[in-house]
Amino acid sequence: MTGIETDRKRPGTELAAGVLDAGLYSSDPHPLFTRLRAEAPVAWNEEHGFWAVSRHADVSAIGFDHQTFCARQGILVEEIGVTYETPPTMMHTDPPAHTRYRRLVQPGFKPTVVRALEPAVRARARALVEAIDAGRVTDVVGALSVPLPLQVISEIMGLPVEDWERFYDWSEAVIPGATDWPEERRNQLQGEMIGFLIELTTKRRRTPENDVLTELAQASIDGDRLSDAELAMFLVQLLVAGNETTRNMISGGLVAFADHPGQFERLVADRTLVADAVEEMLRYTTPVISFMRTATRPAELSGVAIAAGEPVLMLYASANRDEQVFGPTSAVFDVGRRPNPHIAFGNGAHFCLGAALARLEGRVVLEELLDRFASVDRAGVVERSGSSVIAGVKRAELGFG
């Protein structure tokens, strides 16, 4: 923050003071987000030194303008002031570097490739759904939403699918606030993950297979093969992003159905609403709560001046409940919502690479549940994580009938 003026009046300091509180996210952050949008849509967090941006229009504008708001200086609040020798993930890069990196893995996630995965995804989803008994309390996190995305992304990448539980621990270790594990354990698990992934990719260089690991093992940028640091960057992001967001979209989405009587029954009566329902699950749950950018030059958001070098936190979860975009029912879960211009996948250059895959998994899960059940209700505990980055659902006890 060196060189940035700090004596000008900064709006919303009282409201923004609690925007990272773990207790907020383990309960319900939306009352605070509603106040931020109404009273201080661009609010200054004094403790950490960033702007909290809560309206759809402003969050979208940041996402589309990578020249003014860059990712290379960090995407998480805890990275403010940190300098990396190499980017820890592709998300920490900006065009044109981001564009080059993205092209390496994009072929594995094209809509045509994802569509071809549907039979395998459906078989895995069906097996998990068939293990759920009607009338019995089921923790859908452990029974369905954790294993399915991990098994699917493991298969795509070329990882041993039977080790998905191990990959779950690794993934959780990466997300700030997802667990109460000590930093030492988180660092150890992340080290194990990187070592395992690099070793497996090295083997693919000797013995290629038809998977993303092989594609990355053989890939090059400007004639040079990816370094171990670059490989780690790609592989960690694919494994973590490929399961965390989809998992919490499924968990949070099913809780939303349970909390909004009649919505699941609408799908039972009209299967043509399933695709719309997936979009509403994405909007309503917004699995990625927030990411950060840093202003590269002076800018303005909702009439507030942003100085060069100041971080801005894009509150996607708030933007997706913005009354100016979604109207008076913005806080309501509505499986027939149209239009639904949510930004759960981000936008601009950083639009989520796995969007088509997440939509496929969400649709298949709903279809398999609809084949067996006519209703879903809360049947016990719903426990959320305190992460301000990922809208994690740690446990969700539901009943299907």
In percent, how much of the chain has pLDDT > 70? 98
Asked if 117 and 357 touch (Cβ cutoff 8 Å), the reply is yes
Question: What is the band of 2 on the pLDDT scale with cuts at 50, 70, 90?
Answer: very low
In percent, how much of the chain has pLDDT > 90? 81
48: tokens are 């950490």
What's the pTM value of the predicted model, to 2 decimals? 0.94
- pLDDT above 60 for 231: yes
* pLDDT score for 1: 39
* pLDDT score for 137: 98
* pLDDT score for 103: 85
Q: What is the mean pLDDT of the chain?
A: 94
Region 170-185 average pLDDT: 91
What count of Cα atoms within 13 Å lies in the side-chain half-sphere of residue 359?
19
- 225/32 Cα distance (integer angstroms): 47
* Domain 13-400 sits in CATH 1.10.287.110: no
Region 207-236 average pLDDT: 84
Question: What is the band of 227 on the pLDDT scale with cuts at 50, 70, 90?
Answer: confident
- pLDDT above 50 for 169: yes
Angle at 40 between CA 33 and CA 43, to 5 degrees: 90
More confident site: 109 or 18? 18
- 263/336 Cα distance (integer angstroms): 9
Region 328-350 average pLDDT: 97
Residue closest to 238 by CA, chosen among 188, 193, 289, 187? 193
Q: Is the dihedral of CA 196, 198, 201, 203 positive or negative?
A: negative
- pLDDT above 90 for 88: no
Domains of the chain: which residue ranges?
Answer: 13-400
* pLDDT score for 219: 81
* pLDDT score for 139: 98
- pLDDT above 80 for 225: no
Q: pLDDT tens, 135-154?
A: 999 999 999 999 999 999 99
Region 233-242 average pLDDT: 88
Region 175-189 average pLDDT: 92
Q: pLDDT tens, 364-383?
A: 999 999 999 999 999 999 99
- pLDDT above 50 for 6: no
- pLDDT above 70 for 8: no
More confident site: 217 or 118? 118
